[in-house]
Amino acid sequence: MPSVDFDATDEQLYAELPEPLTLPPSELLSHYEPNILAPLVRCSKLPFRHLVSLYETQITHTPMILAEEFSRAQIARISDFSTSSCERGLYWMNPSLNSNSNKKVKQVIRLNHPEDDRKNDTNDLITYYKGNYQNRIPSTPIKPNKNSELIRGNLIAQFASPNSKSLIDACELISPFVDGIDLNCGCPQRWAYNEGIGCALLRKPELVREMIRSVRDRMGWGWSVSIKIRIDPDQKQTETLIRNALQAGISYLSIHGRTRHQPSTDPVNLEGIKFAVETVNGQVPCTGNGDIWTYEDVINMREKTGVTGVMAARGLLANPALFSNYSSTPSHVVSQFISLSTSYGLIFPLFHRHLAYMLENNFTKNEKVWFNCLSSSSAAIDWLENRGLDWRSGKGGMWDGRRSRGVLTI
């Protein structure tokens, strides 16, 4: 264990922290075992992303954004995306056992726009975002063990697009604010399929390859481009899609362990995820998604499928501290969420929905009915305060160390 000056104050210890490593998502996945917030329809907005980043969620995704609307309308960009200088967290992380611990990971921060300088040297690990680290601190100033390294988290924008043109235009617009983009190839909703996006791309491997390559040509090969897929009942279809994506140069692959026709009530197919990982054959890192409700599920996903990153969706909605190994939502998570939502600004329907997800197991049937009838954020906060939630005094600690009022929109 590293030596610790027990006479030093927290302020002194935090002031002596090393500069965090700033890594592209693929390198973070290759050398560590990050936890990931999945792209959630409407729900993974800025306040919720910042919330889960306080609880060991190292990579976060925006909600699925429609590239065509985003690329052509300012009102869509304002509605669909906002970020802040400190939503990414700082984490003490240990290199994974499968990582080459002798490899020195370079830290390269790109300050210019991708159009200014297109580098094709894949040895350069490039991220296009330069954050203000003074607004974030790790959960402890003390290095947990000798192998721990201070790592900055990643923010990924997920796009759905039926064509290359809209996708690359959207990528160029959002690139100064995120660490990479993900192409949605798995949204199972009927309207998405009819629009030629989401799971409609699962059996269009040539189009997926063209879209990935177009982003590479526009943004450069240092720019992170991933895809998120669902497994196919015909494994040959999954294999063909993955091979085309690898040929086009994806940075990593995310796999949801259900087919497009399976509801979320069906159990996740870990063997299907494992097949996809084996098809990749170590060429890029992989993440697995589906039925992550407890930290035991996180461990099980890694052990049985071979993924390095584990992605949660509904599990994090129900318990944003899941990756910190809390069995249910602790009260301080609710306090942090109220603080973040009121500071950043979150529309009432989403504010209400998130609280309902977090507190569902704590409500009686009558309380659920009463809570669902509330019509404003202030009414919801007052109701929770009357039930004993002292969020004003309980919001200290982590949030106090990460204050930010500068919200960026494009």
Tens of pLDDT, residues 142-158: 888 888 999 999 999 99
Least confident segment among 46-60, 115-129, 221-235, 263-277: 115-129
The CATH number of the domain covering residues in 10-323: 3.20.20.70
In the numeric block, the tokens 């996180």 are attached to: 298
| pLDDT at site 6 | 56
Going by C-alpha positions, the residue among 256, 187, 181, 193 that lies closest to residue 223 is 181
| pLDDT at site 143 | 86
> pLDDT for 3-48, tens place per residue?
555 566 767 777 778 888 889 999 999 999 999 999 998 889 999 9
pTM: 0.88
Domain spans, the chain: 10-323, 331-409
Pairwise CA distance, residues 218 & 355, whole Å: 41
Residues 409, 77: contact at Cβ < 8 Å?
yes
Which are the contacts of 149, defined by CB distance < 8 A and separation ≥ 6? Answer: 21, 92, 93, 94, 95
Q: State the average pLDDT for the chain.
A: 85
Pairwise CA distance, residues 46 & 358, whole Å: 17
Least confident segment among 172-181, 236-245, 324-333, 345-354: 324-333
Return the ∠ at Cα 158 (arms to 323 and 31), rounded to 5°. Answer: 50
> For the chain, how big is the Rg over CA atoms in Å?
21
- Quick one: pLDDT band at residue 139, thresholds 50, 70, 90? confident
Q: Where are the alpha helices (DSSP H) in 32-162?
A: 46-53, 67-72, 74-80
| pLDDT at site 185 | 95
* Alpha-carbon separation of residue 72 from 78, 80, 167, 173, 225 (angstroms): 12, 13, 11, 10, 21
373 is known as an active-site residue: no
> pLDDT for 276-297, tens place per residue?
999 999 999 999 999 999 999 9
Pairwise CA distance, residues 200 & 143, whole Å: 46
- Quick one: pLDDT band at residue 174, thresholds 50, 70, 90? very high
Pairwise CA distance, residues 19 & 17, whole Å: 7
- Quick one: pLDDT band at residue 321, thresholds 50, 70, 90? very high
Q: Please compute the mean of the pLDDT values over residues 118-131 and round it to a whole number.
A: 45
What is the distance in angstroms between the CA of the first residue and the CA of the last residue of the chain? 45
**SS3 readout for 287-356:** EEECCCCCHHHHHHHHHHHCCCEEEECHHHHHCCCHHHCCCCCCHHHHHHHHHHHHHHCCCHHHHHHHHH
Query: In the numeric block, which tokens belong to residue 328?
Result: 């249910």
Residues 383, 374: contact at Cβ < 8 Å?
yes
- Quick one: pLDDT band at residue 363, thresholds 50, 70, 90? confident
| pLDDT at site 343 | 87
DSSP β-bridge partners for residue 311: 36, 289
Pairing of strands 225-230, 181-185: parallel
> pLDDT for 215-249, tens place per residue?
999 998 889 999 999 999 999 999 999 999 999 99
Which are the contacts of 54, defined by CB distance < 8 A and separation ≥ 6? Answer: 89, 139, 336, 398, 399, 402
* Alpha-carbon separation of residue 176 from 112, 156, 209, 293, 347 (angstroms): 9, 12, 24, 33, 26
Going by C-alpha positions, the residue among 292, 226, 358 that lies closest to residue 37 is 292
Residues 83, 155: contact at Cβ < 8 Å?
yes
| pLDDT at site 112 | 42
Least confident segment among 117-121, 172-176, 206-210, 364-368: 117-121
| pLDDT at site 172 | 94
pLDDT at 358 over 80: yes
Strands (E), 1-118: 35-37, 59-61, 65-66, 82-84, 90-93, 108-109
Which of 43, 86, 187, 199 is catalytic? The answer is 187
Q: What percent of the chain has pLDDT over 70?
A: 83
| pLDDT at site 398 | 47
| pLDDT at site 405 | 33
Pairwise CA distance, residues 160 & 183, whole Å: 6
| pLDDT at site 138 | 84
In the numeric block, the tokens 């509904």 are attached to: 314
Query: In the numeric block, which tokens belong to residue 113?
Result: 């726009």
> pLDDT for 384-406, tens place per residue?
888 887 766 655 444 433 333 33
Pairwise CA distance, residues 334 & 330, whole Å: 7
